[in-house]
Structure formats: structure tokens, C-alpha cells
Copies of this chain bind each other. A is one copy, B any other.
Amino acid sequence: MKSDDVSFGIDRRTLVSGLALLPAISGTLLSTSAQAQTTSDGLASWNDGRAKQAILDFVWATTAQGSPKFVPPEDRIATFDQDGTLWVEHPIYSQVVYCLDRVPAVVEQDPKLKDVEPFKTVLTGNREAIAKLSLHDLEKILFATLTGMSVDDFEAEAKKWLTSAKDGRWKRPYTELTYQPMLEVMQYLRGNGFKTYIVTGGGQDFVRVYSQQIYGIPPEQVVGTAAGTKYGYRKDGTPFLTKEPKLLLNDNDAGKPEGIHLMIGRRPHAAFGNSTGDREMLEYTGAGDGARLMMLVLHDDAKREYAYGPAQGLPDTKVGTFTQELFDEAKKAGWTVISMKSDWKRIFKFEQNT
């Protein structure tokens, strides 16, 4: 793919220089150029339009030899929020489902919890009551279900869960509910020398379990909400790490640029999100000089996925809040809003292209 992209870059540059001299026929030439792009850029699930063009323009500006905004390959960093940006987050984050599913095992180990809230509610299996649990309740469950596990046990358990658990609507493993157009963008950026990172409010250890397999992103390129670990020794002297209930990084909102500084150490050139939790990451990315790409996924496709977030009058929900205020900031700052409905030919790999 890389060599195709490079040759496309050169073709386009040559073309653009030519156009400057021949303004009268630019319309015709540009449409030929757009056709060439569709076959060579790998963004097959994207409709032509402002969003796709923003990606193509950014990659060209940062990678074409001679471009005034050329970025050396070693500086090419792109960051992606996960929930709602790379895969389905509605009606509930899959990691929350994972934690809820672990509650019976936790209660078995500590039986007195079965009469304590919020564990009591979770054990009833009453979906409506569970959906009403507060963020604080969920945090309580999160720490109770993860704390004290060895890092290795956690990885094995989460892996096992991921192969068996299924989403309620599509009846498929969560790992199949990734957005095909976003997988294509990540692949396209990597093919052009970008190092792709996930920067998620979700648990860093959780996302690392499957990031390589489903996104092609290795564990060390996942920045997420992270708790501490504790080094110790088993009875036979073997060292191991245990998960601790100490929050090191809350990788949401301002925590995203802070986490990026901690884990990557430099400012991204491109950042993708879908909610107010990604606002600061996009602002931080946009504050760098040269070419920058900031994009927000808008969930406006009730038929193929979901439509939610108060922006543009969509219904408000607990997850992925895309407020009207964020929409306005995007417009003002020149960020590109991706309409799932209009910009994406298909959303999931298992769909046929429409």
C-alpha cells in the first residue's frame, strides 16, 4: 500500500502544480484525480466528501516530498479515541459489561458482597435497574472486580470473555463491532508512516488485550485510564504484578493530553474522537503548528448504528456526549465532523457496501 500512496502523492502534487497554470480545465482534471484517489487510498468505505477529503489533504500535506508542511516520518503521530470512535459504545461500554459479568465471581470470593449495593442490583440481572447505576457505582464495581488480580490472570480472563461475550443487538462479539471506515483510516495513516495510538477513557489493560488483533495497534501504543500495579513474589520466588486500586491516569478530558504527554511525549498531528471527553485532545493537537487533522465522529445513523448526542438535536444518552457546544467549537476551530450517515458507505465489515 505504501508505494501506491507515495506514487499517488507525487501524481497529485504534479497535477496540482499543473493546475495552477491551467485554471480553465481544472474541473476536469480534479475529477480524474478524485477517481485515482478512490482506488489508491484504501478508504473504500468512505463516500467522497468533505471528511474523506480532509484526510487525503492532511496526508498529502504532511507526507509529500516538497510539501511546505512535510512532517518527518519519525514525528508522525496520530491518536484515536476508542469507544464511539473506533467501535460501538451504545447503549453501554463493553468494558462495563465485562465488569458486570465478573460480579458473580467476585461475590463468590467475598460472599458478604451479595447483600451490598451495587453488587446486589447487578446480581438480580434486572437490566433496567443496572442501567440506572451511577458512575460512582460502576467505579466501585470496576475496582472490586479488578483489584488484586495478577496482570497475567486479568489478561487471560479478559481474552476469554472477549471470545464469548456478544452484543445484544447484532449478536456478535464486540471485537466485530469496529467501524470499518476507521480501520481504513488507521491503515492508511500507517501506510504513510504514521504511528497510530489509541487514547481511550477505557481501561488501558483491557484495551491492550485486543488492540493488536482488531486494530493492528500493539499494547505499547494504547494509552488509557490506568491504575497502578504492585510488584511482588509468589511462594516459589517468581515475581509478578498485581493490579492495585490506585488511579494513575484518568484518561478523559484534560487527562487525554496529559496522558499523551506521559506515554508518548509529543503532540499528535492527527486526533480523532466523538465526544466532549476528546475535546482537550483535539485542542492540544490543533495547537501545534503545520498541518493538523482533528475529526469528530457524529452518531447520526439510527438505522445502521445509533443516533445520539445533543449535537444537532440528537437524543442525549449516558455515553459519548457530543454536545452542541462541542459541535460549535469544532466549527469555529476548523475540526471536521464525520457524519456516519453521509460519510460512511458501510459501518461494519460484516455489512455489504451499500
Contact = CB atoms under 8 A, between A and B. Distances in A.
A9 interface: no
Q: How many copies does the complex hold?
A: 2
A262 B287 CA distance: 27
Nearest to A233: B283
B231 A284 contact: yes
A231 B74 contact: no
A151 B261 contact: yes
A294 to B, nearest CB: 12
Interface string A244-264: 000011000010011001111
Contact of A218 (B74, B231, B262): B74
Contacts of A248: 248-249, 262
Interface residues of A, number: 35
Contacts of A258: 228-231, 241
The secondary structure that dominates the A interface is mixed
A146 B219 CA distance: 30
Contact of A265 (B220, B254, B262, B283): B220
Interface stretch (A135-143, A160-168, A204-212, A308-316): A204-212
Interface of A: 74, 151, 195, 204-205, 208, 212, 218-220, 222, 226, 228-231, 238-241, 248-249, 254, 257-258, 261-266, 280, 283-284, 287
Given A219-B266, A220-B264, A228-B262, 13 more contacts: A219-B264, A219-B265, A220-B265, A226-B262, A228-B258, A229-B258, A229-B262, A231-B280, A239-B280, A239-B283, A241-B257, A241-B258, A263-B263
